[in-house]
Amino acid sequence: MPTRTVIEPFRIKSVEPISRTTQAQRQQLLESAGYNLFLIPAEFILIDLLTDSGTNAMSTGQWAAMMRGDESYAGSPSFERLQASVQAIMGFKHVIPTHQGRAAERILFATMCKQGDVVPNNTHFDTTRANCEFAGAEAVDLPVPEALQPSILHPFKGNMDTTALKLLIDRVGVDRVPLVMLTVTNNSGGGQPVSMANLKAVKAVCARHGIPLYLDACRFAENAYFIKLREPGYANRTPREIAQEMFHNCDGCTMSAKKDGLANIGGFLCTNDDALARQEENLLILTEGFPTYGGLAGRDLEAIAVGLNEALSEEYLNYRITSTTYLGSHISAEGVPIIQPPGGHAVYIDARAFLPHLSPHHFPGVALAAELYLEGGIRSVEIGTLMFGKRDETGVERCAAMDLLRLAIPRRVYTQSHIDYVVEVILDVWKRRDKIRGLELIYEAPVLRHFTARLQPLHT
């Protein structure tokens, strides 16, 4: 077979108009939003790469399944179909639906953690970290050293540093480590995958100490496909088989179905532990809903049940990973510094290297996001000092390890010409990068400040 262009493996049945604004309007909008793109109304965004979460385009199969959604409060057959879908892929005994991933996280940490505990992860996502800390535990990131060097090529930059994990457990004591988590793919670390070998090595450390291993499984299908492409021994296995092997080596998972569930809302929490599941379900009833709907409509359960399977389609995953790589390689070919190699759901620009004249204290990632919006109506998100930086006791800002700008690609939403436009806009900003000014905070909330922060350009 000749190598041909990888095409979108779908045709478009229903279209959603996108609206243009002028540069003058965008300047105004930026000022009134305090240079925070979360605060700009979506109708004024041309290409929205803020997140791949809940922004998926659903298939005819999912829409059809939604029509048979059973809205019974208890015992809905829609839940049974979700449970069957999850169990066929993930194999866990208990499937607890939640309205989205962070609800699963809250219930997990509230049930498993106590004050003073420590939860290691390759890199905690922001809501994971916040929920862990809310439960009184310390969220510790243990990425491999390569993860912190954006330009280095490594097939599995999402891996956890297993030596650091062993040292941490020895230092704090097993009793203070109620679980270990692995985020697949590692979103905050650049959408990078975790290898099967690393997953098994982490599991071996956990097993030696009797500590359960949980996956933050949001992008499990993309991770499975990277294993197929990059890890010796997996080339002839299907993404589904690889995903099954990943989950088989774990004791539970949290899931946001807004990613590889190909749905617009939903999530779940899984465990093999009966006693734990009972406690989790009791908490679920208190705040989310009865255990057969967990805060979701029956039709949402149906959309997820179908979406999880579609996300494992090899042709879909090939298109998905190819299109993300296309964006990454076209901008990096012109010198734009990105985390190499491009991630599964997103391309991450190294904003500190893009804007070396800005101090990390002046939020290079946020400044770059504002410029891409101003130039071409593109919305992206900073994953850096605004999201992860913290003030110490004296009020001094401790910057994040990296200042990244994430361009997240919604699943099955944009075509190649949209992506070509994004490449053009980024390259135009790249040409005038020396002129871009830093920002300073004028308002910040005490937790998850990036959602509502307001900033202004530095005057110097």
- The residue ranges that bind ligand F0G (CB under 6 A) are 51, 53, 100-102, 125, 127-128, 183, 187, 216, 218, 256, 258, 267
Residue number, 59 or 187, with CB nearest to ligand F0G: 187
Where are the alpha helices (H) located in 256-341, listed in sequence order? Answer: 274-287, 298-310, 314-332
Residue 202 falls in which region: left (phi positive, over 0), alpha (psi -120 to 50) or beta: alpha
What's the closest the beta carbon of residue 166 comes to ligand F0G, in angstroms?
Answer: 24
Q: What three-state secondary structure class fits 220?
A: helix
Residue number, 54 or 77, with CB nearest to ligand F0G: 54
Residue number, 187 or 198, with CB nearest to ligand F0G: 187
The number of residues making up the chain comes to 460
What's the closest the beta carbon of residue 256 comes to ligand F0G, in angstroms?
Answer: 3
Residue number, 59 or 128, with CB nearest to ligand F0G: 128
Residue number, 51 or 62, with CB nearest to ligand F0G: 51
Residues 6+ apart with CB under 8 A from 203: 213, 249, 250
Residue number, 220 or 234, with CB nearest to ligand F0G: 220
* C-alpha to C-alpha distance for 233 and 438, rounded to whole angstroms: 47
Q: 């900003």: which residue's tokens?
A: 429
E runs forming strands in 122-209: 138-141, 180-183
What's the closest the beta carbon of residue 185 comes to ligand F0G, in angstroms?
Answer: 8
What's the closest the beta carbon of residue 309 comes to ligand F0G, in angstroms?
Answer: 19
What's the closest the beta carbon of residue 386 comes to ligand F0G, in angstroms?
Answer: 14
What's the closest the beta carbon of residue 383 comes to ligand F0G, in angstroms?
Answer: 9
Q: Which residue is nearest to ligand F0G (CB)?
A: 101
